[in-house]
Every structure is written in C-alpha cells, then in structure tokens.
Copies of this chain bind each other. A is one copy, B any other.
Amino acid sequence: MQKHYEALGKAAANYVPLSPISFLKRAETVYGDRTAFIYGEIHRTWAQVAGRCRRFADALKQHGIAAGDTVSVIVPNIPEMFELHFSVPVSGAVLNTINTRLEAETVAYILDHADTKLIIADTVFSDLLRNAFDILGRDIEVIEIVDDQADTPPGSDRTDYESFLLTGDADATWHLPDDEWQAISLNYTSGTSGRPKGVVYHHRGGYLMALGTVVTWPMTEHTVYLSIVPMFHCNGWNHPWALASIGAKIIYTRDPVPERIWDAIQHHKVTHFGGAPIVLQMLIESAKDAEEPVSPPIKVFTAGAPPPPAILQKSQAMGLDVMQVYGLTETFGHITECLWRDEWADLSADEQAQMQSMQGVGFPILEQVRVADKSTGQDVPRDGVTQGEIAVRGNPIMKGYYKDAAATDDAFKDGWFWTGDAAVMHDNTYVQIRDRLKDVIISGGENISSIEVEGVLYRHAAVQAAAIVAIPHDRWGEVPCAFIELREGHDATEAEIINFCKKHLAGFKTPKKVVFGDIPKTSTGKIQKYVLRDRASKV
C-alpha cells in the first residue's frame, strides 16, 4: 500500500467506535420531542427515554458496576426492558437478558455461568429468582421493576427501578465503548439439548444490524412498531437498537396475546412487527371472518421456525405483508430474508406461499451465505436438492461463546460460522432449510426433512400444530412419527392423517405413527423436539 495513503491514521474526528448507543444519543436531539413509547398510560418522548437511560447508566456506575461486568435482566417487553438495552451498555456493562419462561434451574445455571453482578427483574419473577438463588446457594442483588399496569406482585424492600434511576445524575453524559469490538450483550441459546451456551454480541454488530434492518425491512421515521418479539431473544432481533436510529414510535403490550395485538393495530396504526409463526397463527385464529384486511398492510418479519405456507397465505389475506427471515442467537437474530421476486407474481397463491417459505438470501450487511459440507468444505450444487449445512460470514456474527473456547472454535471452523441447519441452495441462490441437522430423519438411506412433512400436515384442516420426529425402525433404521395438536372442534384419526400425507408425499416420507395431544414449545414458539423424541421412544 502506498505510503502517502497509509500515513493518514485514525483520529478522534474521523473514527468513532460503532455502537447502537450513538443512535439513542442522536435520537435525544433529533427526535427529542417525538413519541418514543406508548404503554397504556405511559407516553414518553425520545428525549425522555434517552435522559432516563443516561441517568440509569450513571446510577449503575455509581453503584459499582464496572466495564465488562454482567448485568442480568429478567423482564417482559415493557418500556424498562427497552431502556436497559441502552443504559446497561452505556454504563460499560454487558446486558444479559434471561428468557422469562425458563425454569429456576436453568436461570440459576445462567446467573452462575454469566458471572452476574446485578439482576434487574420484574416482580412477577420474584419467586423464580428466590428458587434460583436457593439452587445457586447464594443471593445476587436485585433491582425490582414494579409494573403498575400489570397484575404483578407488589415490590419488596428491595430497591425499585425508579428509585435506583433517581440515584443517577440527570446530567450524566453519554459513554461510548472505547472499542467497537467490546461486548454489548450476552444471550443464552435456548438449549434444545444440553446446557445453554452464552452468545456474546459486540457493539459493532449491534450498530450494523440496526442499519441493515432499517434498510431491508424497510422502516422509516414514520414507523410505528409493535413490540412482540421478546427482547430476551437475540435482544429482540436487535430491533430496539434499530428503532432508535429512526426515532420510531414503539407500542408495548407486555403480553402479546391476540386481543392486545389487534387492539394496538387498531388504535396506534401499527406499521411493523416481528414474531414467530406461532404468533401469526394465533392472529389468524382470533381474526373474525368478516373482518376487512388491515390497510395499509403491516410489514411483518417472521422467524424462529419456517412458517408453513398455509400460514403465510392466510396472513397475507389479513393484510399482513409477511417476509420470512432467518437467523440464530449466534447471528444477532435475522441474517437472511426471503426477498420477494417479481417473477413470483405470476404464480398461484399456493405456489407463492411455497416460495415465501424459503429462507432466502443474505441481509445487506451479511457478507456471505453458503450451503456446504462442514467436513470437506465443499459447497453443495445449486440444485435445490442436495443437502448441506448453512454457513455464514460477516459482521453480525457473535464474538463467540462465553467461557467456551472449544465450542467457539468448532462453530468458526475454517473461517465460517456453521449454523447446524441442514439446507439446500436453489438456482436463484435462495437457501431453504430442510431441518436442524439433528432433526433430519434418515429412513432406508433417504433423508427426510421433518419440515417438509410438517408443511403437509399443516394443510389438513383439523391440524393446529404438528411436529415430526424419528422413531427407530427395524427395517428402515428410522421412520417419521407425527405429533399432532387438533384444532378445537375438529377431529381426525391416525388413518386419516396418514392417508392425507400419502396423497402429498412419497411413501417413505409418510408418517408411520400419529400421536394426538399437546405439543411442548419453548418460550419463542419453537417446538421442543427433544421432548417429543423422548415421548416417541416410548410409544
């Protein structure tokens, strides 16, 4: 490189560490008098939100929280949870959001593994924390959020969020990280098997995710965002940071049950929300038949599980402009998107929904997506048939797993992050997941995608939820077993379900056994297949 160009180094004027904190700092002045939050009676402007975050961060520092300390939070989607996404990083600490639906044992494991210095929790989780501390054999300091708008237990003699906030200096200044590679948050994987792993995010990734999401959804300064995606999950797909960058209006419901979602849509003219396919399904089921579609359509990101085509089709009819996105905890949330292609306009509604059920192409800020064999490093052909593993490279990828160098090295093998998802690559470069690698069923030497079989089951009128797992079979090694939750007021027999599948699937893909009953799901709406596998081994 030529020396005159090289001689020009970085300076304070031209190099600022990338951090989502900068977006709130800007929102404080640029969007200062605009509404940031609506939560029942609570209305706050961006200047108010930013001021509270600066002050809370100062309170944390005064309280002894140091750079790189872990602050764990167990809070539903209420305004405080958004604020903590800024105030904790502004203090220099790392935000560890804990899934609010976890059992005490796992919460105890996370608090211990994360080296938590302080917990901030909604009082609804007081018992949970007490149990977790019992398992842990020690207490950790807790700051309580008492939510007046919810039916939560009263606060104890512990410090409450609002009093703690007041201990901070109202004129405290913003504090950016010294280095954009610094940790901003710690998110534990849902741990469908074994112990959850602690995924560490960096400020750089949070900043870029924010811009990339605004660019591609797209959102504007007129966005009215309904907070549904749990902020404990990939930091709400990094949406809090994106929303600050455009000074959007955010609507909170605490508990996103269908009636509250419909209410928010009607009263606040919601333009955007994200949610798992299960949220869409609940909305579909709660919609009144005579209802007109929402207009203008609401832009929806769905992720967490591949949405069955039937759900995409019905969502569209309701006025939801759904785009499937895909990602993992390790990738800051969504990194691929099923961008609509003009040529799909000529397809039937059913074919369109099939297309939209692909995971698609990389986000603008993702560097590259491959489908390859992890052991050989070879890409699969773009034939839509050959399976490989999705591997990605780019800036919205975790720093690594907290205190787990071996898992980090394995995940980053050969310069790629290996997702563990089995997929095919279509000739238009769209990726389509066939399964979690460990969920693939191998029957008589043939791979069966459980997602494909589930997609067929969802088309049956009586099926509310469906999951396919492998059961051992003497001749074929494994065969598919279907677990089915029936829709209220509907009925079906095992034989009917199997016959329905035979009409739409190759024989070897057709379930050989059907079990009716409730299907266990994680807090994010993912079906817990490891529980079903356990059940299946006993049928």
Contact = CB atoms under 8 A, between A and B. Distances in A.
A466 interface: no
A399 B14 contact: yes
Contact of A415 (B12, B30, B212, B218): B12
A361 B1 contact: no
Interface string A35-71: 0000000000000000000000000000000011110
28 contacts: A1-B67, A1-B68, A1-B182, A1-B183, A2-B68, A2-B70, A2-B115, A4-B115, A5-B399, A8-B408, A10-B181, A13-B415, A13-B417, A14-B205, A14-B398, A14-B399, A14-B412, A15-B181, A16-B394, A16-B395, A22-B367, A26-B364, A30-B429, A32-B429, A211-B365, A214-B215, A214-B218, A218-B220
Contacts of A502: none
Given A11-B412, A22-B367, A221-B339, 10 more contacts: A2-B94, A4-B402, A5-B183, A5-B200, A8-B183, A8-B402, A14-B393, A16-B393, A211-B364, A214-B218
A328 to B, nearest CB: 13
Contacts of A245: 215, 364
Contacts of A70: 2
A26 B362 contact: yes
Nearest to A22: B367
Interface in A176-214: 181-183, 200, 205, 208, 211-212, 214
A330 to B, nearest CB: 9
Interface in A317-363: 339, 342, 361-362
A417 to B, nearest CB: 4
Give how many copies assemble into the complex.
2
Interface in A248-296: none
Nearest to A415: B12
A361 B392 CA distance: 37
Nearest to A5: B183
A481 interface: no
Contacts of A30: 339, 361-362, 429
A29 interface: yes
A237 interface: no
A399 B364 contact: no
A313 to B, nearest CB: 23
Most B Cβ at <10 Å: residue of A205, A342, A367, A415:
A367
Given A211-B364, A215-B246, A397 B13 contact: yes
B5 A402 contact: yes
B403 A68 contact: no
A25 to B, nearest CB: 8
A245 B5 CA distance: 26
Given A2-B115, A68-B1, A215-B245, A14 B417 contact: yes
Given A23-B364, A211-B364, A367-B22, A8 B182 contact: no
A143 interface: no
A218 B247 CA distance: 14
Given A2-B68, A397-B14, A417-B14, A29 B221 contact: no
Nearest to A398: B14
A6 interface: yes
A400 B200 contact: no
A70 to B, nearest CB: 8
A483 interface: no
Contacts of A78: none
A422 to B, nearest CB: 19
A103 to B, nearest CB: 25
Contact of A412 (B13, B221, B398): B13
A68 B417 contact: no
Contacts of A68: 1-2, 5-6
Given A4-B403, A29-B429, A429-B30, A395 B361 contact: no
Contacts of A411: 13
